[in-house]
Chain A
Amino acid sequence: MIRKILLSKWTKVAVFTACLVPFGVLVWRATQGELTANPIEFVEHWTGDWTMRFLIITLCITPVRKLLKIPELIRFRRMLGLFAFFYVCLHFSSWVGLDRFFNLHDMWADVEKRKFITVGFAGFLLLIPLALTSTKGWIRRLGGKRWQLLHRAIYLAAIAGVIHYAWLVKSDEHKPLQYAAMVGVLLLWRIVVWARKRWQQQPAARSISAKEPTTAETA
């Protein structure tokens, strides 16, 4: 039953629509003049928060589908990742177009001098190749292994997002710490799975490496 729902075309449409809700709410609030006394800052924070949330949701897919044995969830991973990219693009544009109003000099000074902007910018740059290579064609062209390796950059982007947030708050670290905890758990799970696999495969791995060097694969 669950399987059938998850595989339905309509579920994908529903999830897609749900992912647009934060954007819709933002636009709605804008038309109602409910963007607080500092609308530009509000848009910047709203889109930054939703970038972080979508990164985290995307990182949840693999653990949840494995722990709960719902492999069908993989259908949504690309879409969620691309929504993270959608929101970071809005976030970046709100900084470029609203906050700094296309003032290249100001923006460059920020990227160069302000640590939290530098880290955020790095996170954004990391996500660009992931969005570009998210298609089936690119998976084929790169080969599954290499594609997977490349897409591990999302771990770094999530970490960059957390550091970015932690560095920009003045004193109350609660919210960045909440994100840090979530990203931490999700990455820790991967480390545990990886370590367990290594542990179990060790004898086998040794016999393989005796046959052929694996450096090309792990590089």
Chain B
Amino acid sequence: MSEKKGSELTYSDITPKGAFASRRNFLFGMAATGAAVGGWKYLPRWFSGPGKGSVPHPLSGVAKWPYDATDKVTPEGDVTTYNNFYEFGTDKSDPSQNAKNFQTSPWEVSVEGEVKKPLKLSMDDIMKIAPLEERIYRHRCVEAWSIVVPWIGYSFSHLIQKAEPTPKAKYVAFQSYYDTRQMPLGPQAGIAFPYVEGLRMDEAMNPLTLLCVGMYGETLPNQDGAPVRMVIPWKYGFKSIKSLVKIRFVKDMPPTTWNIEASNEYGFYANVNPNVDHPRWSQAKERRLGEFFRRPTLMFNGYADQVASMYAGMDLRKNF
């Protein structure tokens, strides 16, 4: 395998000897700097212990919901290590690592805007608004993967009724918690924070729309949106906003984070729809975590009977 010396002659060396030593030092310096810059992000991870943040605890007195999805529930370990929660990093494995120190207590959710009764709710208040139910929902990400999760919460409509929106309220705008001291990777995510989402009033009132405080029998883990989040099972996952701090009833369609980032890719409605492709990938099929073959995606994620009537007469290609 030895090369012929002759073949090396074509690559003539042009560097004078004197420049060579300092250049070598320079290059080694560059390499060392590069390694340092590349490694700093991962160093804390190697040394990180269990974390100082809030941890899930079991929820009792949770009623069973009669309309569960019959799909096989995804293992909890998958749902807690494969997350899109960009405030804690953009890799799927980042949130489970970086949300360890997330402090979610005390927590306050502000209910405001076009309502007769503006509210400031603590987590204790939220737990008492309606009886908790466990609901097994399919959850379909816009990236064409899906999971099946036993969420715990109650229909968001209970909270709406408590706030008594005025007739002017046509939409609900949601906002996530954001604090760079707790979420130092937030500024690198490439999207603007705080994360904001929204629903039309009838969507928010739909009994499937869940105000969620737990999963798998416990309160929510930090990386899955502790302590309280929305779950809207017929829409792509990014609509189901995490770590909720503000609920505002408004007259006009509110801005939503991914729509601001790329309006041709992510619409306001974001209903799961196998017939309307994302510009960069097909939505016809999905990979259920834990399964090898892609499975067909269902219209409205299989919840058409409960939600399709809300969109009767709308062009779902335009209102994607």
Indicate if A171 sits at the interface (CB-CB under 8 A): yes
Judging by beta carbons under 8 Å apart, are A69 and B13 in contact?
A: yes
Complex Cα distance A59/B78, Å? 38
Interchain nearest-CB distance for B292 vs A (Å): 8
Point out the residues of chain B lying under 8 angstroms from A113, CB to CB: 277
Point out the residues of chain B lying under 8 angstroms from A106, CB to CB: 282, 285
Complex Cα distance A36/B75, Å? 12
Judging by beta carbons under 8 Å apart, are B289 and A68 in contact?
A: no
- Quick one: given A9-B1, A66-B15, A172-B90, are A38 and B280 in contact (CB under 8 Å)? no
Interface size counted on chain A using CB atoms at 8 A: 36
Judging by beta carbons under 8 Å apart, are B11 and A101 in contact?
A: no
The residue that B190 contacts in the complex, of A37, A71, A110, A171, with Cβ under 8 A, is A171
- Per-residue CB proximity of A6-25 to B under 8 Å, as 1/0? 01010010000000000000
Judging by beta carbons under 8 Å apart, are B8 and A71 in contact?
A: yes
**A-contacting residues, B183-208, CB 8 Å:** 188-191
Complex Cα distance A98/B2, Å? 39
Interchain nearest-CB distance for B297 vs A (Å): 13
Complex Cα distance A40/B289, Å? 10
The residue that A114 contacts in the complex, of B20, B261, B281, B293, with Cβ under 8 A, is B281
Complex Cα distance A17/B77, Å? 34
**B-contacting residues, A62-114, CB 8 Å:** 62, 64-69, 71, 74-75, 98, 101, 106, 109-110, 113-114
Indicate if A167 sits at the interface (CB-CB under 8 A): yes
Residue of A114, A170, A171 with most chain B CB atoms under a 10 A cut-off: A170
**A-contacting residues, B34-82, CB 8 Å:** 77-79, 81-82
Residue of A nearest to B257 (CB): A171
Residue of A nearest to B291 (CB): A40
**B-contacting residues, A144-172, CB 8 Å:** 144, 167-172
Indicate if B315 sits at the interface (CB-CB under 8 A): no
Judging by beta carbons under 8 Å apart, are B11 and A65 in contact?
A: yes
Judging by beta carbons under 8 Å apart, are A38 and B289 in contact?
A: yes
Indicate if B86 sits at the interface (CB-CB under 8 A): yes
Indicate if A124 sits at the interface (CB-CB under 8 A): no
Point out the residues of chain B lying under 8 angstroms from A206, CB to CB: none
Point out the residues of chain A lying under 8 angstroms from B188, CB to CB: 172, 174
Point out the residues of chain A lying under 8 angstroms from B189, CB to CB: 171-172
- Quick one: given A37-B77, A171-B189, A171-B191, are A68 and B280 in contact (CB under 8 Å)? no
- Quick one: given A36-B93, A68-B27, A172-B190, are A74 and B11 in contact (CB under 8 Å)? yes
Point out the residues of chain B lying under 8 angstroms from A171, CB to CB: 86, 90, 189-191, 261
Judging by beta carbons under 8 Å apart, are B81 and A37 in contact?
A: yes
Point out the residues of chain A lying under 8 angstroms from B90, CB to CB: 169-172
Sample of 25 A–B contacts (CB below 8 Å): A36-B92, A36-B93, A37-B77, A37-B289, A38-B92, A38-B289, A64-B27, A67-B15, A67-B23, A68-B24, A68-B27, A69-B13, A69-B20, A71-B13, A75-B3, A101-B292, A110-B281, A113-B277, A167-B280, A168-B280, A169-B90, A170-B143, A171-B261, A172-B189, A174-B188
Residues of A bordering B, CB below 8 Å: 7, 9, 12, 36-38, 40-41, 62, 64-69, 71, 74-75, 98, 101, 106, 109-110, 113-116, 144, 167-174
Residues of B bordering A, CB below 8 Å: 1-3, 8, 10-11, 13-15, 20, 23-24, 27, 77-79, 81-82, 86, 90, 92-93, 143, 145, 188-191, 261, 277, 280-282, 285, 287, 289-290, 292-294
